[in-house]
Chains A and B, each alone.
Chain A
């Protein structure tokens, strides 16, 4: 059975490689993208089953990526987990926006361990499989 593919959008190379190693050892295939443009190209090529997204990216931020990502029919139901260094309460005014963009979960990087991230991915993929 093919491994689920995760698109990890993270501009910090060290963190990206750390998350990638943890997720790959948990049984996933992980494609990395350092910015929004590379992420769109990566999604087109890799057909992700789930996206992990940092909101703070260079030039175009994560929200801009999400708007573009969700504009494609093929990607409208792909689960998205935000894993960001921005505190979730900073987005209180944009909770509705995150729901509309189909964000499944919001993890605050400072608090979210590797175990938390891996468990979140497993949970969201399982839910997505049941829902479709």
Chain B
């Protein structure tokens, strides 16, 4: 497990804001150029408008998730509202939300959640936002790393010990390992590409997810699902309900 240090937590707002600001340039440039294209090429208008909508949503989600990370950083763990959550239901919602972005980047989303799983106890908004933020970043990452027509990104769930591991997984030579994640955290706000070995940009979504999860006392970790590499969260399940 790779945890965020206390020092990193103290400088969160400024560093993460710098990273988010840098990454917001991309959807804004996309929107501007797509608008120009729609004016130049009437035949490309529908596609341009769809992509503008997707880019706008990406930008708004990034800002929302960042704002949530800030609020959570200021919240005592005991003050967080937690509830019993069906992880599969959350996964289905996240997949539905991220799907338009994935489609616009030529990435196929797959949901892999077989078998019965006990519910988890967590803050719904935070867990969903973290998974969404992470998924969006990874869509752009695997799209940028591969020139092939279609890539696959899986939102997968598997049992891990007494709990569950839920994460995003992809086929690539390049994963995001423990060392990369640790180095990336130290570079947030200082480097244009904190995860340069894996992500050309858009990595603020990974770190926003990271800090949201830290508030829940969960942590991002490198993971594998079958032959796919990924980033995942280990969740504790409600054993009492599992027995009912």
Report which A residues bind B (CB closer than 8 A).
Answer: 11-15, 18-19, 21-22, 25, 32-35, 38, 56-59, 61, 85-86, 109-110, 113-115
Contact = CB atoms under 8 A, between A and B. Distances in A.
Given A12-B144, A34-B145, A22 B37 contact: yes
Given A25-B40, A58-B198, A85 B29 contact: yes
A35 B36 contact: no
B25 A35 contact: no
B68 to A, nearest CB: 25
Given A14-B30, A15-B26, 18 more contacts: A12-B30, A14-B54, A15-B33, A18-B33, A18-B37, A21-B44, A22-B40, A25-B41, A32-B147, A34-B143, A35-B144, A56-B192, A56-B200, A56-B201, A57-B144, A59-B196, A110-B25, A115-B40
B141 A58 contact: yes
Interface in B40-56: 40-41, 44, 48, 51, 54-55
Contacts of A59: 145, 174, 196-198
Interface of B: 25-26, 28-30, 32-34, 36-37, 40-41, 44, 48, 51, 54-55, 104-106, 140-141, 143-147, 174, 192-193, 196-201
A115 B174 contact: no
A14 B201 contact: no
A121 to B, nearest CB: 14
A113 B36 contact: yes
Dominant secondary structure of chain B at its interface with chain A: helix
5 contacts: A12-B140, A15-B29, A18-B51, A56-B193, A109-B29
A58 B25 contact: no
A111 to B, nearest CB: 10
A113 B142 CA distance: 27
Nearest to A32: B147
Contact of B51 (A14, A32, A56, A57): A14
Among A12, A35, A86, A115, chain B packs the most CB atoms within 10 A around the CB of A12
Contact of B25 (A25, A33, A85): A85
Contacts of A15: 26, 29-30, 33
Contacts of A58: 141, 144-145, 174, 196-200
Contacts of B199: 58
A12 B26 contact: yes
Nearest to A116: B36
Contact of A13 (B34, B106, B197): B106
A15 to B, nearest CB: 6
Given A18-B33, A58-B196, A13 B105 contact: yes
Given A32-B147, A58-B144, A21 B29 contact: no
